Each structure stands twice: as structure tokens, then as C-alpha cells.
Amino acid sequence: MLKVWGRVNSINVQKVLWTLDELQVAHERVDAGMAFGIVNEPFYTKMNPNSRVPTIDDDGFVLWESNAIVRYLAAKHAPGTLWPTDLKVRADADRWMDWISNHVSPAIGPVFWALVRTPADKRNPAQIEADAEKTAQQFQILEQSLAGRTYVAGDEFSMGDIVVGVTVYRWYALDVKRPRLANLEAYHARLRERPAFQRHVMLPLT
Ligand SMILES: N[C@@H](CCC(=O)N[C@@H](CS)C(=O)NCC(=O)O)C(=O)O
């Protein structure tokens, strides 16, 4: 059976668990990372020399990097739905996945760490504000693209929405100043209706 290593409060693990739930793929999950340790044990670093979560083992095929895992699972189990078969729609989904990794995560990641995992007296409010502002600027880009679209790559829910969706959830869960972005808010509300999103993403930030 497919095995997943990773703690459920990790945004990158949540992408994988949400994908598996949407696809109804049976799997076994093992807690790993932060307080659970494991990631530095030799058996784990042999699979994932980066000592990060998530990692999967699908019948002997080991893979790490959450976006690569989402793409692999979508291509294996959901061609035509989560994995768009139209080349241009798939490239669009891919683009938004890469945009999250390259432009949004570097801005929102420090805000999350400061507000959720740093004691109040050790926070740098000016830095938090600057990083939140950078995040807001990035989300303006998605806001414009979502005009007249239901999901990031068009009318259908795809793998792109999984990687974007976990980050949008965090943006609205963090206590920061946010501009009103009507399309993004409506998109977030649509995602919140999905039972798998509720189960794996709509959790307290810890
Ligand atoms: N680019 C990697 C990043 C993986 C990553 O940094 N994971 C974090 C959790 S979100 C982690 O492993 N942190 C250390 C730990 O949990 O021990 C991916 O998308 O899988």
C-alpha cells in the first residue's frame, strides 16, 4: 500500500493528503517531521536526503518534493480531471503550482513562521508587515487571473488548485492586514466546500 511520511500540520504534507483524499487512494500515513523526528534517521535520509516531509513510497517507487508528488498521483490516478489532459490547461495548472513555490511561499512562509511558531516577544512586526505586503501583491496576480474563472486553470478543479489552495487557506487564517480580493475570496469559499479540503487543510495553524 502507498505509504506517506509526514505530520498533518505541514502545508506540503497537506497537499499530498488532500490529493489522496480527492482520488480516494488507500494509503498508510506515518507521522514524521518536527516533534515526531524520523526525518534524520538513516532509513529516512536514504529515501529523502533532504530530511523533509512529505515523502511517499508507492510500491517501491520513492518520491519527495510535494508538488512532484501531487503531479505524480494526479497523472497516475486522475488523467482528465486532477491531471488535465489538454496540454495548455495542464501547463496552466503547472504554472500556478510553480508560482506558489517560487513567488508566494518565500513571502508567506516567513509570516507563518513569525506569527505561528515564534514567541510574540521575538517577532519583528515591521518584517511581518513587509512580508505580508509582498504576499498580498502576489495574490493580486491570482486575483486578476481568477476573473471569470472558477479554478486556477479554468472551469475544472485540477492539481493546480491543490497547491494554490493550501496556501490560500493559510493566507486567510493568518492574522495580517489583507486587501479585499473578491475573486480570491470567492475561490477560497469554493474550496472550503470540498470535504477533502475540510478534512486535511482547514485545521488550526500550528
Ligand atoms: N519543497 C519541499 C519542502 C518540504 C519542506 O520544507 N517540508 C517542511 C514541512 S512543510 C519540513 O519538512 N520541515 C521540517 C520538519 O518537519 O521536520 C516540498 O514541497 O516537499
Separation of 155 CA from ligand 1 center, angstroms? 31
Q: What is the pLDDT averaged over residues 91-101?
A: 98
pLDDT in tens, 160-177: 999 999 999 999 999 999
End-to-end, the C-alpha distance of the chain in Å comes to 29
DSSP state of 206: -
CA distances from 110 to 17, 58, 116 (A): 23, 32, 10
User: Quick one: pLDDT at residue 155?
Assistant: 97
pLDDT in tens, 26-82: 999 999 999 999 999 999 999 999 999 999 999 999 999 999 999 999 999 999 999
Helices and strands of the chain, counted as H and E runs: 9, 4
Instruction: List all residues 6 or more positions away from 118 whose beta carbon is below 8 Å from its beta carbon.
Output: none
| Whole-number Å distance between alpha carbons of 165 and 188 | 7
Answering whether pTM is above 0.95, one says yes
Which residue owns the Cα nearest ligand 1 atom 13? 52
Q: Which residues line ligand 1 (CB under 6 A)?
A: 10-12, 33-34, 39, 52-54, 65-67
Cell of 24: 480516494
Which residue owns the Cα nearest ligand 1 atom 16? 33
Which residue owns the Cα nearest ligand 1 atom 2? 65
Element at 64 (helix H, strand E): strand 61-64
pLDDT in tens, 131-153: 999 999 999 999 999 999 999 99
